[in-house]
Amino acid sequence: MARGVGDQGVAISLFSGAGGLDLGAEAAGYRVAAAVERDRDAALTMEKNFEHLESPVIQADILDVSTEAILAAAGLRRGQRPDLLIGGPPCTPFSKSGFWLEWKRSGLDPDASLLQAYTRVLAEAKPRRFVLENVYALTYNNKASKPAYDRLLREIDDAGYEFRAQVLNAADYGVPQSRPRLFVIGVRKGEIVPEHPKPTHGGTWERRSTGHAERPHVSTGDALAGLVTEPEPEEVTRGQYLDLLPGVPPGENYLHYTEERGHPTPLFKWRSRYWSFLLKLDPQKPSPTIQAQPGPNVGPFHWENRRLRVGEVKRLFTFPDGFELVGTRRSVQAQLGNAVPPLLAQKVIESFAARS
């Protein structure tokens, strides 16, 4: 029997963004009753698409919001506890894409404290279960990530929870995008914490095989098939090197224009740019990770030599076609690029159901 929204209980959402984790939670049978999101556009996106919220989204910095206020916004009376806490604290300090910045390698980004905002609410709200999502670079053994990761796990333990942490690639779960992310899932001490979901799809990621080999990854071509979208002004490519994009074969990047790839007039040195430079989608493979704030030459670009349209990005994240996002095109890109793919979120959260 299919679960209805709310069958599994009340969920509280922190760092909600556009609601990728929230869509997954509701698909898994929870009712998202309260959300905290400081970005105005993302908060309005949540309110536009989630009809089970007990109160308007708390549009404030979580460092300024008490746990008591969050529980009250969910309609929970004193002594009542949520069934699920979900959230993905901003990944700025640990994102792999920014480790060339010395201040990030040194762990000086103030956003690092937002991990503690999550564990503070976890300890005070005492939900039955929780899911915390973050960039997989948080698990790196370096001077920025390791102390923060060790502290996070220690604080979860101190809050009274058994937990498991694992990096999952969204493409291994039917999402048409290779997007590795860390998921920490947990239950109160004394209960059995479930395993992370088993992959349902498989293929190649970063030159190695991942997932369930008998069922191939969902390709961008399959995901975008039948989708009708209108041209967008923002899809026009602008940048110093984007006149080179038509020459890049699908699935390749600037390396096409190197001596090592046999180009007759090489324009770039081997591995002299970041991987996403002039990167183009391959319709036969999942999309590479789609970023929240891509630079002018940063892909993935569509194989038709343009930027992706909003409807296409939603498909590549598994957001519903009818999901409405609020804000400018730049804001929409950021909301989607920061989101957890709803399908992956659903499968992670459904792992609790096996223990119910």
Name 309's Cβ contacts closer than 8 Å, sequence gap at least 6: 229, 230, 231, 232, 235
Q: Report the alpha-carbon distance of residue 299 to residue 116 in Å, rounded.
A: 33
Identify each DSSP E strand in 129-235 by its residue range: 129-135, 161-169, 180-188, 202-205, 208-211
Joined tokens for residue 258: 């190197």
For residue 341, the 8-state DSSP code is P
Q: Report the alpha-carbon distance of residue 76 to residue 205 in Å, rounded.
A: 43
Question: Residue 291: what are its φ and ψ, rounded to 5°?
Answer: -90, 160
Catalytic residue check, 289: no
Closest listed residue to residue 339, CA positions, set 316, 307, 312: 316
Question: Residue 48: what are its φ and ψ, rounded to 5°?
Answer: -75, -25
The single residue of 25, 34, 58, 91 carrying the catalytic annotation is: 91
Question: Residue 24: what are its φ and ψ, rounded to 5°?
Answer: -65, -40
Joined tokens for residue 171: 């493409």
Residues recorded for the chain: 356
Closest listed residue to residue 116, CA positions, set 70, 154, 60, 161: 154
Q: What angle do CA 39, 154, 83 make, to 5 degrees?
A: 60
Q: Report the alpha-carbon distance of residue 31 to residue 295 in Å, rounded.
A: 37
Strands 9-14 and 30-36: parallel
Question: Residue 333: what are its φ and ψ, rounded to 5°?
Answer: -60, -45
Residue 179's identity, in one-letter code, is R
Catalytic residues: 91
